[in-house]
Amino acid sequence: MTSLFPEEARQPQPAFNLDDAPAAVRLNFGQLLDWFTPNIFVCWIILGINIVVFAAMLFAGFNPDHASPQVLLKWGADYGPATITRGQWWRVVTCGFVHLGILHVAFNMFVLAQIGPFMERLLGNIGFLIVYLTCVVAGAMCSLWWNPYLISAGASGAIFGLYGALIGFLILRHDSIPRAVLTKLLQSAVLFLIYNAVFGVLKSGTDLAAHTGGLVAGLICGLVVSNPISAGFVRRRVVRAAVAGVGFAAFLFCQGALLPRPLDFQGELLKFAAVETKILANYKAILLDAKHAKDAELADKLETQVMQPWGAERQSLGSLTGLPNQQQHSVTVLLTYMDARQRAWTSMEQGLRTHNADLVRQSFLQQVAAQKNLKDEVAAQH
């Protein structure tokens, strides 16, 4: 991929008053942008943060060949149940700085290094930061709306947004950009979008919703920020970028309030684990008390301290429907395990009440089988 910045020699100047610029600078588009934005640093800081975060993930034990959902969530990836249901809205920003693998971060940073400096010169340092973060959030929100159960991460939405902002800016600037430069920039932007659109459709797992959200947000920002590259250009682009950022913040805030709350699958798993630990502790205590209590008393404790809370948790877990296929399968596996445990405890209760040792022995065998079947199912999923 070639740089989008024009090939003309650049001679950055220390001031921003267009009237003070030499005539050669005013007539040269590349030098003119250098005149208005002589120092480029925001895009490099963003690029550096992405690389540092990924390096820290690797240092902490992240396996780029097998991106664990738990690890990605720990580092700030976007996920509907966490972002929406648990109210962790900071994820719509942090997800733009977390990547799934080496190729993912390398490609995104390569493209950012191509488009970033030019867009920062075009939008200004503050304007670039506003547009970039706006596109990160817009992409994340669009991903949440389209599929809240998808774990989304990466700078792709923001990068699509930068190309969208470029197109939006250029659409209205026929009056101040030379036709040859305008054509070259538009061709580069369109080729990037077409290539990535085709690649995204062919590659499974690509978060097309985030790309689309970032692109549309960037396009609108580009249209809002676009203004004649003439005297007053620096002040106008900062004001317009601020207006675009505030407008999108208000819009996305309203959208966030309207998003449906997805089921918190991981939260339910943690709840189940806590309930299971407590119930199994109660069951162990009942077994230890077997030498000192009557069978009927043991049966009563088994029913109230084990079977009833287990049945309540089973009912709660059974209410989870409409989950993605993999998660729904996990729920089915757990329900099968819980049913097997419940049958085993029912056999024990009946055995204790009728003094039937065979039912008690059958209960122990059923519990061993239930535990083994669960372990086999978990191993098969991995």
- Tell me the per-residue pLDDT of 285-319, one tens digit each, with 9 for 90 and over: 999 888 788 889 999 999 999 999 999 999 988 88
> Looking at residue 281, what is its pLDDT?
94
Please spell the DSSP secondary structure of 31-67, one letter per residue: HHHHHH-----HHHHHHHHHHHHHHHHHHTT--TTS-
Using one digit for the tens of pLDDT, what is the confidence trace for 172-196? Answer: 887 667 777 777 777 877 887 777 7
- Whether the predicted model's global pTM rises above the 0.85 cut: no
pLDDT at 39: 93
Token pair listed for 200: 């995204």
Q: b/e string for 83-100 if b means 16 or more Cβ within 10 A? A: bbbeebbebbebbbbbbb
Residue 152 forms beta bridges with which residues? 78
Q: Which residue type sits at 263?
A: L
Confidence of residue 19 (pLDDT cuts 50, 70, 90): very low
Confidence band, pLDDT 50/70/90 cuts, at residue 28: low
Residue 26 has pLDDT above 80, yes or no: no
Does 6 have pLDDT greater than 60? no
Q: What is the pLDDT of residue 98?
A: 96
Share the mean pLDDT of the chain.
85
Counting residues of the chain whose pLDDT is more than 70, the rounded percentage is: 89
Q: Judge whether residue 20 has pLDDT over 60.
A: no
> 167, 219 in Cβ contact below 8 A?
yes
Average pLDDT of the segment spanning 330-355: 93
Q: Is the Cβ–Cβ distance between 44 and 114 less than 8 Å?
A: no
Query: pLDDT band at 228, cuts 50/70/90?
Result: confident
Q: Average pLDDT of 325-329?
A: 84
| Concatenated DSSP letters of 197-239 | HHHHHHSTT--HHHHHHHHHHHHHHHHHH---SSTTHHHHHHH
User: What pLDDT sits at residue 268?
Assistant: 84
Residue with tokens 């930068």: 162
- CA 289/CA 236 separation, integer angstroms: 80
Residue 251 CA to residue 248 CA, distance in Å, equals: 5
Interval 116-169: pLDDT, tens:
999 999 999 999 999 999 999 999 999 999 988 889 999 999 999 999 998 999
